[in-house]
Amino acid sequence: MSAELVDTEPATATEPRAGRLPTPSRFTVEGIRTAVSPILQRIGACAGVRERAREYAFEDVRALAEQRITLVGIAAEDGGAGGSLRDVTDLVMAIARADSNVAQALRNSYLVANRVATRRDLPNRAVTLQRLRNGDLFAGTANERTGGASGTVNTTIRRAGDGYVINGEKYYSTGGLYASWFSGSAHDENGTVLGFTVPVDREGVQRLDDFDAVGQRLTASGTTRLVNVRVDADEVEVRDNTRFDNPWLGSFAQLYLAAVEAGIAAAALDDAIWFARKKARPIKHSTADKSVEDPYVRETVGEIAARAQAARAAVLFAADALAGVHDLTGPQARAAGAAAAVTVAQTGVIAVESALRAAELLFDVGGGSITNRDLGFDRHWRNARTVANHNPRQWKAAVAGAYHLIGEEPPTTGLF
């Protein structure tokens, strides 16, 4: 496909979109879940059609943002909706069940919200919190496709007066077409890697619709070009995770992907049930009058349900484990952080394999007609496979094994 520059007229923190709801003084987890339920139903009903037409869910994602979905998990006294990490992952799984593309497109927004919720020392925390309360969405990536080892940063940031100028190109800018803000990393003249956050409508920021994977095609994960982008000093920060008692700050990001996989497994179950009830016919030699009475259809749907349940249960279990690290300090925080990172890694293995298997089994519910392109059921496997390739499950399993066998801590690369 050809790259396409897009202009989606994103909101900024100071200029709300026309039609944006005013920020109420208080949100609640239950209130947000109730408000987004009809939106998710609409998203789910159109997911297959949108993928075939390559149409982004701009209006529906805007509607979700207007309900302040990222305030779940942020303390009420900070202006959030309250709730736990379990509540956050439960909502993410519900979004992914409707459309895994939308859930992944929102990932960076939830990562920003999680940092606000768990780090009171976060630079510019008050500003970021207000942006979340405004309903702003975030995109960001450190990834580049300019050669070198994975994690190599070639984007540059140079002093210019009392600010900076950034030049470079980022890829996998997940959620970039939906976002109001973009965060990335760049190295200065001394080789120090700095983080930055800029509004996406800043002069020199160019967003391309060039992500072309086999699945998750509508996550808006393409290229962001930064051409002589002016950055103020207060939009730049030094990122140093080594100073934290718990250095596994990427665990929530990995748990989020597992939640997306769990949502895909649940979506496969929904489609299996629908097809068996509404479309499938028993095979000629079946003794059943209806497909829902066929023992092998029942067995298949039951196994899909078991896979979906396993993925969901594992995600919620890991969310509780990760939440238990939050208030710890010193050696306790490190030990609990390592254990939680391993739990999240193990959850990733379960969620990936559950989603892939559920998506495959879906096709055993029917005959040739279930492969009809208009149904779009193949998207579940393609989406699950694409999410799985973000961080290979072989590494997750190997790291978990090393932890259990010899007590080896997980890598602190941000991928555990």
Confidence of residue 184 (pLDDT cuts 50, 70, 90): very high
- CATH number of the domain where residue 235 is located: 2.40.110.10
411 belongs to a structural domain: no
Confidence of residue 20 (pLDDT cuts 50, 70, 90): very low
- CATH number of the domain where residue 110 is located: 1.10.540.10
Do 248 and 380 fall within a single domain? yes
pTM over 0.75: yes
pLDDT cut 70: percent of the chain above it: 92
pLDDT, one tens digit per residue, over 353-383 is 999 999 999 999 999 999 999 999 999 999 9
Confidence of residue 289 (pLDDT cuts 50, 70, 90): confident
Do 273 and 375 fall within a single domain? yes
End of a domain among 206, 241, 276? 241
**How far is it, in rounded angstroms, from Cα 97 to Cα 364?**
20
Give the alpha-carbon dihedral of 240, 243, 245, 246, to 10 degrees.
10
210 belongs to a structural domain: yes
Cβ–Cβ < 8 Å for 29, 72: yes
Do 271 and 400 fall within a single domain? yes
297 belongs to a structural domain: yes
Confidence of residue 279 (pLDDT cuts 50, 70, 90): confident
Number of domains in the chain: 3
Tokens standing for 27? 């949100």
Enclosing domain of residue 364? 243-406
Question: Mean pLDDT of all residues in the chain?
Answer: 92
Rounded to an integer, the average pLDDT of 252-275 is 98
374 belongs to a structural domain: yes
Do 95 and 160 fall within a single domain? no
Do 96 and 133 fall within a single domain? yes
Cβ–Cβ < 8 Å for 249, 166: no
- CATH number of the domain where residue 342 is located: 1.20.140.10
Residue 377: closest CA among 390, 391, 362, 356: 362
In terms of residues, how long is the chain?
416
Do 65 and 179 fall within a single domain? no
- 387-390's contacts with Cβ under 8 Å and 24+ in sequence apart are 387/100, 387/104, 387/215, 387/216, 387/257, 387/260, 387/261, 387/264, 387/352, 387/355, 388/261, 388/352, 388/355, 388/356, 390/257
pLDDT, one tens digit per residue, over 105-154 is 999 999 999 999 999 988 899 999 999 999 999 999 888 876 556 668 89
Helix spans in 284-376 (H): 295-323, 330-361
9 belongs to a structural domain: no
